[in-house]
C-alpha cells in the first residue's frame, strides 16, 4: 500500500467501508487450507499408482487429485523434516534460512509466509506438528506438539510452550483435525483464512489407531524389485539405513506399530521380508487415518459452502523409502526420498484432473500461497509461484533442473549435494570418511534407469554428460549463494 497516493488510499478505504455497510464481505480473497503429513511418500498415495492397491486406497486424497491437480515432479531441496518445513515457510534454501539440520531451530523473527498473510489481513492458524523448536510466530492461533510428539494421547501446547495439555483418549491425526475444524468454526467469517494442518503421521514408529488394527491382516504386500539386493543401489556402496536396522528396532521395542515384530525364521532373506511386511502394514495403517481425516476436512468445507473459494493443498514434507534399495527413512537424493507428493484443488481456476509435470520445489510453496492471496513474492524468497503452472500457464523459462543439498553427516548417511534435470541426476557425496574414499560421485540416467540401480559415473560414454551436469551444478550453487 505504500506506493498508493493518499487520495487513492482514502478512496479504497471508503469503498471498503461502503461494502461492509451493505452487508457484504469486503474481502473475497480465497481461503487457504494447507495440509501436510510427515514422510507420507508418494508410493503410498493411490493417485500416484501405489503398488499397494487394491488392498490399500486413499479415496479422499485421490478426490483432491481428481477435482484439482496432481504434481508429478515436486521435489524437496533438503530431505529431512525440520529443514524442509523451514524452506516451505520461508521460500528459502537451508543455507539461507539457517535451518540446515534436525538440530537447528527457526529464528522466530525470520519472516515467512504466515507473517505476510497475517499482515495482509488473513486469519492464520497452525495445528499439529511444528517441529521448528521456537514458538510459532505469524499465526493468530496455534496448537502444536513439541518435536515428534506421540501418536496416542499427544501433549499439545496452545499458544504457550510452557503449558502442556494431554489430549486424553485421543489419537493425534484425529485430534489435530478436530482442533483445526473447531478453529474454523469460530473464525471471523468476513475475513479469509490460512489454516495449516500438519499431521504427525506417517513418521516412525507408525503407531496406528486401534480401529485399524485388523487392516491388511491377511495381506501380503508386493515388494520393491530391489528389496533383496545390496544395502544400496548397485555400485553405490552408501550404507544408508537398511531394513536390518528396522528389524532390530521392531524386535527390541514394542512401540513400532503397536507391537513387536515376531519372526518365524532365522533366514536373513525371510527376516528382511517379514520386517518389510510389518513396516508397510504399520505405515499404511497410519496413512489410512490421514485419508479419513482429509475426508472430514473436505466434508466440512462442503457443509459450510467453503469449497469453491478455498485453495486446498495436501503434501508431505519429503519422500520416504518404503523398502526400495533395501532402505527406510529419507535424507538421500535418490528419487523415493527426493520426490514430494502434492495435490491441490481450487475450483474455477485449477481444472479437474490436471497433471502437472513441471519441476516444482518446496521453496516454491510460500510464493504460491502468497500469490493466491494476491501478494507478491518478497525479494528474499528464492522460490517462485507455480499458481500459473497449476492453471495451465507455465512460463516459458520455467526451471528445467534443480539443486539439492543434505547437510547432516554420518557414515551411513553422508552429506551430499547434487543437480537433477528431467532426465539425469548427478550426486556428489562430500561427507564420506577414509582417505581416497572421502568423496564419491554418482550419475544416473533417469530415462533408462528410473529406479537408480546403476551408477554410470565412470562409464566413458557418459563423460560429456557428467561434465555438463557438473557445470550446471556449479551454476546453481552460484545462483543460490551456496558456492
**pLDDT tops 50 at residue 332:** yes
Percent of the chain with pLDDT over 70: 92
Q: Which domains does the chain have, with CATH numbers?
A: 26-209+278-391 (3.40.720.10), 404-480 (3.30.1120)
pLDDT of residue 15: 38
* CA–CA dist 220, 199 (Å, integer): 27
- Averaged pLDDT, 247-264: 93
At 19, the pLDDT band (50, 70, 90 cuts) reads very low
SS3 45: coil
Query: Phi-psi category of 221—alpha, beta or left, where left has phi over 0 and alpha has psi -120 to 50?
Result: beta
Q: How far are the Cα atoms of 186, 369, 373 from residue 376, in angstroms, in the given order?
A: 29, 10, 9
Joined together, the cell numbers standing for residue 334 give 535418490
Categorize the per-residue pLDDT at 253 as very low, low, confident or very high, splitting at 50, 70 and 90. confident
Q: Which long-range contacts (CB under 8 A, 24 or more apart) does 438-442 make?
A: 440/237, 440/238, 441/466, 442/236, 442/418
Measured CA to CA, the distance from residue 114 to residue 366 in angstroms comes to 9
The stretches of 304-434 forming alpha helices (DSSP H) are 335-338, 365-372, 387-390
pLDDT at 26: 59
Does 228 have pLDDT greater than 90?
A: no
Please determine, for residue 324, whether its predicted confidence score (pLDDT) is greater than 90. Answer: yes
At residue 237, the pLDDT reads: 63
Q: At which residue does the C-alpha cell 539457517 appear?
A: 98
CA count, 13 A, side-chain hemisphere, 172 = 29
Q: Is it the case that residue 235 has pLDDT exceeding 80?
A: no
Indicate whether 338 pLDDT > 70: yes
Within a 10 A sphere around the Cβ of 5, how many other Cβ atoms?
8
Contacts of residue 296, defined as CB under 8 A and 6 or more positions apart, other chains included, come to 177, 181
Give the three-class secondary structure for 181.
helix
| Nearest C-alpha neighbor of 418 from the set 470, 366, 341, 457 | 470
DSSP character at residue 332 = S
**Structure confidence at residue 24 (pLDDT):** 37
Burial track 217-253 (b if 16+ CB lie within 10 A, e otherwise): eeeebebbebbeeebbbeebebebbbbebbbebbeee
CA-to-CA distance for 198 and 220, rounded, in angstroms? 30
pLDDT at 483 over 90: no
Q: What is the pLDDT of residue 4?
A: 39
**20 pLDDT higher than 60:** no
Q: 149, 136, 155, 143: which is closest to 182 by C-alpha?
A: 143
Assign residue 233 a region: left if phi > 0, alpha if psi is -120 to 50, beta otherwise? Answer: beta
Which residues, 6 or more positions from 52, have their beta carbon under 8 angstroms from its beta carbon?
43, 44, 221, 222, 280, 284
Using the predicted structure, report yes or no on whether residue 230 has a pLDDT greater than 70. Answer: no
User: Span 4-27, mean pLDDT?
Assistant: 42
Q: How far apart are the first and last CA of the chain?
A: 37
Task: Report strand pairing: 310-316 vs 155-158.
Answer: unpaired
Which stretch of 100-109, 252-261, 389-398 has the lowest confidence by average pLDDT?
252-261
pLDDT higher than 90, residue 238:
no
Q: What is the pLDDT of residue 432?
A: 82
- Long-range contacts formed by 296-301: CB under 8 A, 24+ apart: 296/177, 296/181, 297/33, 297/35, 297/177, 297/180, 297/181, 297/197, 298/60, 298/63, 298/64, 300/181, 300/184, 301/33
**C-alpha to C-alpha distance for 270 and 332, rounded to whole angstroms:** 26
Q: What is the pLDDT of residue 236?
A: 57
Rounded to whole angstroms, how far apart are CA atoms 146 and 49? Answer: 34
Q: How confident is the model at residue 7 (pLDDT cuts 50, 70, 90)?
A: very low
Q: The dihedral of CA 18, 140, 39, 110: what is its sign?
A: positive
For 120, 294, 383, the CA distances from 62, given in Å and listed in that order, are: 32, 10, 27
Dist CA 276 CA 246 (whole Å):
9
Could you give the CA distance from residue 306 to residue 220 in angstroms, rounded to a whole number? 41
Confidence (pLDDT) at 437 = 58
In order of 76, 189, 309, 419, the CA distances from 305 in angstroms are 34, 12, 9, 44
- Predicted structure pTM score: 0.92
The DSSP string of 55-118 is TS--HHHHHHHHHSEEESSEE-SS-SHHHHHHHHHHSS-HHHHT--STT----TTS--HHHHHH
**Does pLDDT of 14 surpass 50?**
no
Query: Can you tell me which residue has the cell 479415496?
Result: 59
Amino acid at each position: 500500500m505504500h506506493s498508493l497516493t493518499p487520495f487513492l488510499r482514502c478512496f479504497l478505504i471508503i469503498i471498503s467501508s461502503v461494502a461492509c455497510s451493505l452487508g457484504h464481505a469486503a474481502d473475497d480473497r480465497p481461503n487457504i487450507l494447507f495440509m501436510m503429513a510427515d514422510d507420507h511418500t508418494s508410493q503410498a498415495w493411490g493417485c500416484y499408482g501405489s503398488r499397494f492397491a487394491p488392498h490399500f486406497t486413499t479415496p479422499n486424497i485421490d478426490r483432491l487429485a481428481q477435482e484439482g491437480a496432481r504434481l508429478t515432479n515436486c521435489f524437496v531441496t533438503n530431505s529431512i523434516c525440520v529443514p524442509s518445513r523451514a524452506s516451505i515457510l520461508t521460500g528459502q534454501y537451508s543455507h539461507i534460512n539457517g535451518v540446515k539440520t534436525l538440530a537447528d531451530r527457526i529464528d522466530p523473527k525470520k519472516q515467512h509466509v504466515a507473517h505476510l498473510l497475517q499482515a495482509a489481513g488473513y486469519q492464520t492458524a497452525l495445528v499439529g506438528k511444528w517441529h521448528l523448536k521456537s514458538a510459532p510466530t505469524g499465526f493468530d492461533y496455534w496448537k502444536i506438539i513439541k518435536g515428534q510428539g506421540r501418536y496416542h494421547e499427544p501433549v499439545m501446547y496452545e499458544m504457550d510452550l510452557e503449558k502442556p495439555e494431554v489430549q486424553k483418549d485421543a489419537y493425534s491425526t484425529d485430534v489435530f483435525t478436530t482442533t483445526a475444524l473447531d478453529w474454523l468454526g469460530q473464525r471471523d467469517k468476513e475475513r479469509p483464512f490460512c489454516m495449516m494442518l500438519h499431521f504427525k503421521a506417517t513418521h516412525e514408529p507408525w503407531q496406528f489407531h486401534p480401529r485399524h488394527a485388523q487392516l491388511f491382516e491377511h495381506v501380503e504386500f508386493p515388494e520393491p524389485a530391489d528389496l533383496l539386493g545390496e544395502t544400496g543401489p548397485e555400485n553405490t556402496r552408501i550404507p544408508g539405513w537398511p531394513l536390518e536396522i528396522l528389524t532390530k528396532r521392531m524386535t527390541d521395542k514394542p512401540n513400532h506399530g503397536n507391537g513387536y515384530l515376531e519372526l518365524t525364521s532365522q533366514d536373513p532373506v525371510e527376516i528382511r521380508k517379514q520386517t518389510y511386511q510389518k513396516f508397510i502394514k504399520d505405515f499404511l495403517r497410519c496413512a489410512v487415518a490421514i485419508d479419513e481425516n482429509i475426508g472430514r476436512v473436505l466434508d466440512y468445507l462442503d457443509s459450510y459452502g467453503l469449497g469453491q473459494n478455498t485453495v486446498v493443498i495436501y503434501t508431505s514434507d519429503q519422500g520416504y523409502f518404503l523398502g526400495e534399495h533395501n532402505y527406510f527413512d529419507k535424507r538421500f537424493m535418490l528419487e523415493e526420498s527426493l520426490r514430494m507428493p502434492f495435490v491441490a484443488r481450487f475450483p474455477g481456476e485449477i481444472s479437474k484432473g490436471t497433471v502437472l509435470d513441471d519441476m516444482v520445489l518446496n521453496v516454491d510453496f510460500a510464493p504460491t500461497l502468497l500469490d493466491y492471496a494476491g501478494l507478491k513474492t518478497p525479494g528474499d524468497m528464492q522460490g517462485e509461484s507455480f499458481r500459473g503452472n497449476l492453471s495451465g500457464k507455465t512460463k516459458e523459462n520455467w526451471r528445467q533442473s534443480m539443486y539439492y543439498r543434505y547437510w547432516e553427516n554420518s557414515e551411513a548417511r553422508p552429506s551430499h549435494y547434487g543437480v537433477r534435470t528431467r532426465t539425469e541426476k548427478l550426486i556428489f557425496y562430500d561427507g564420506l570418511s577414509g582417505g581416497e574414499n572421502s568423496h564419491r560421485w554418482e550419475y544416473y540416467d533417469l530415462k533408462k534407469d528410473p529406479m537408480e540401480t546403476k551408477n554410470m559415473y565412470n562409464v566413458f560414454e557418459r563423460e560429456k554428460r557428467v561434465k555438463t551436469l557438473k557445470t550446471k551444478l556449479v551454476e546453481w550453487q552460484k545462483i543460490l549463494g551456496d558456492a
